[in-house]
């Protein structure tokens, strides 16, 4: 179910009203059933995959808690992780890995093994397709059509539960319904935030009384999330599509503006989703973690990743970077760990070499910053960190570096060469022709105004006030009206739903 739809508006109102109308002990049932319905709207069969992982991890958590150290606990964790990663790998990466292997065999002139691998893989894929009522195929491209929505998000959330139980940081949840709700809680089910059990599980055991302050704050955050999505992101999407749908025919300036528009689009789209999710949970008393903190005002790539998609970056930090050795190893090994984490982060976003390159570039940025700092320390070079002009330069440079990597992200369905071609035009011939956009000058300047308002709000860390009830009843309807006016009830899917 899309957040920006009339169906969700009705769903949200009914569920929230019913939530406060029911006795406390019956609320988890309502939320679980509502979450199942929310997920099954996309495709009913997907719920079976989700249910399978829930059962496996539920019992894995209980057995991990009951099993003494040294008595096979690690193997219980491994079984749980393999189950989750295996399902994710098949539905998201099966075709990608098979195509890559076949390509390598072809390059090595091993035509026979390449054909055999392709034949066996297609055969396995067709067996799975029958479970989803799909016809047989000879191409892996159909895997995209059966990819369970939000699979990467709820898989990582489930994995964090068993890992935390294994580490002793979280008690196993013995209530099956509550654990299922932890994985399936509808506001953050398909695109995060990726919550930790320590933050969320205990809240499902808490009796939240109705709070008008929570309701106002939640509704206002949802409204601004819709505003970012349908007023800003979806308008930027038109500029992006115009530039990227046929980049070979566009000049450098059009591609530069299109890339800048995508930089704004993906932020407003994803942070807008997070605002809606966090706000919807807040109306019922639940507190979800922040997922964005004005990332485009970061002064370094490291700071950017402390502000962008925080739930994912901290997940990789805690469950991949630190287990690899983190900062406790030699500098060269630490650099390798950082690079591995960013490559995996890129692959997490999708089965495309464009995503891998996108992650690799962010990893390379981190390595170059580390080498730069090391060299400056050796030569006693001190940077004017307190100088405002230098801080502005850092912010602009970081923004530009991040923006250039988005070329690969937006190009994920096209060959990698397309992204390099776009970059070459942007870097070497940015002003070789007139700007081409689907908007007239007035509409274009309106887009600029929207972005300026957004950036001013984020730079000043302004929050939309809700304590003043009169002001709330003025601003909330106004934001909702603007969002409706610009097409809130449309079928424009959130970008991160595909992950």
Residues assigned a catalytic role = 349
Cis peptide before 193, with omega less than 30 degrees from 0?
yes
**Pair 360, 339: CB distance under 8 Å:** yes
Cα dihedral value 369, 405, 84, 75, nearest 10? -20
Q: Coil, strand, or helix at residue 232?
A: helix
DSSP state at residue 494: -
Q: Which helix (H) or strand (E) holds 13?
A: helix 6-21
CA 5 to chain centroid: 20
Q: Tally Cβ neighbours within 10 Å of residue 352.
A: 20
Angle at 499 between CA 455 and CA 179, to 5 degrees: 105
Q: How far apart are alpha carbons 166 and 60 in whole angstroms?
A: 9
Q: Of 134, 199, 192, 130, which is closest to residue 164 (Cα–Cα)?
A: 199
For 479, the token pair is 């934001």
Q: How far apart are alpha carbons 232 and 261 in whole angstroms?
A: 10
Q: Tally Cβ neighbours within 10 Å of residue 184.
A: 22
């Amino acid at each position: 179910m899309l957040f920006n739809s009339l169906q969700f508006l009705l769903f949200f109102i009914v569920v929230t009203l019913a939530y406060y109308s029911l006795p406390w002990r019956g609320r988890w049932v309502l939320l679980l059933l509502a979450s199942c319905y929310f997920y099954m709207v996309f495709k009913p069969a997907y719920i079976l995959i989700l249910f399978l992982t829930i059962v496996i991890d539920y019992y894995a958590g209980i057995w991990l808690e009951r099993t003494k150290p040294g008595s096979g606990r690690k193997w219980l964790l491994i079984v749980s992780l393999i189950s989750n990663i295996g399902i994710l790998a098949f539905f998201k990466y099966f075709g990608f890995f098979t195509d890559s292997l076949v390509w390598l065999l072809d390059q090595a002139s091993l035509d026979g093994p390449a054909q055999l691998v392709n034949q066996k893989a297609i055969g396995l894929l067709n067996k799975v397709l029958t479970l989803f009522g799909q016809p047989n195929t000879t191409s892996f491209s159909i895997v995209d059509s059966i990819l369970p929505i939000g699979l990467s998000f709820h898989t990582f959330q489930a994995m964090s539960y068993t890992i935390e139980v294994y580490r002793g940081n979280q008690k196993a949840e013995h209530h099956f319904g509550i654990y299922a709700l932890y994985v399936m809680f509808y506001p953050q089910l398909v695109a995060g935030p990726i919550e930790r059990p320590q933050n969320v599980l205990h809240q499902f055991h808490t009796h939240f009384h109705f709070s008008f302050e929570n309701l106002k704050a939640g509704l206002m955050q949802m409204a601004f999330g819709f505003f970012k999505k349908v007023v800003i992101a979806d308008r930027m999407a038109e500029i992006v599509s115009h530039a990227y749908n046929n980049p070979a025919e566009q000049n450098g300036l059009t591609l530069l503006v299109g890339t800048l528009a995508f930089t704004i689009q993906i932020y407003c789209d994803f942070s807008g989703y997070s605002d809606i999710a966090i706000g919807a949970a807040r109306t019922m008393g639940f507190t979800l973690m922040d997922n964005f903190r004005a990332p485009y005002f970061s002064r370094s790539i490291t700071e950017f990743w402390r502000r962008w998609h925080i739930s994912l970056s901290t997940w990789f930090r805690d469950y991949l970077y630190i287990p690899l050795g983190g900062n406790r190893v030699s500098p060269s090994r630490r650099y390798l760990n950082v690079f591995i984490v960013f490559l995996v982060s890129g692959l997490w976003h999708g089965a495309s070499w464009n995503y891998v390159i996108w992650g690799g570039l962010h990893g390379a940025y981190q390595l170059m910053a580390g080498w730069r700092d090391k060299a400056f320390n050796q030569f006693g070079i001190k940077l004017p960190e307190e100088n405002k002009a230098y801080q502005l330069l850092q912010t602009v440079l970081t923004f530009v570096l991040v923006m250039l990597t988005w070329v690969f992200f937006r190009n994920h369905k096209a060959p990698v060469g397309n992204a390099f071609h776009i970059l070459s035009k942007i870097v070497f011939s940015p002003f070789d022709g007139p700007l081409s956009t689907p908007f007239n000058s007035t509409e274009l300047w309106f887009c600029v105004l929207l972005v300026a308002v957004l950036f001013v709000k984020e730079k000043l860390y302004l929050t939309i006030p809700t304590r003043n009830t009169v002001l709330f009843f003025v601003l909330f309807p106004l934001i909702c009206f603007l969002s409706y006016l610009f097409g809130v009830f449309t079928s424009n899917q959130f970008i991160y739903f595909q992950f």
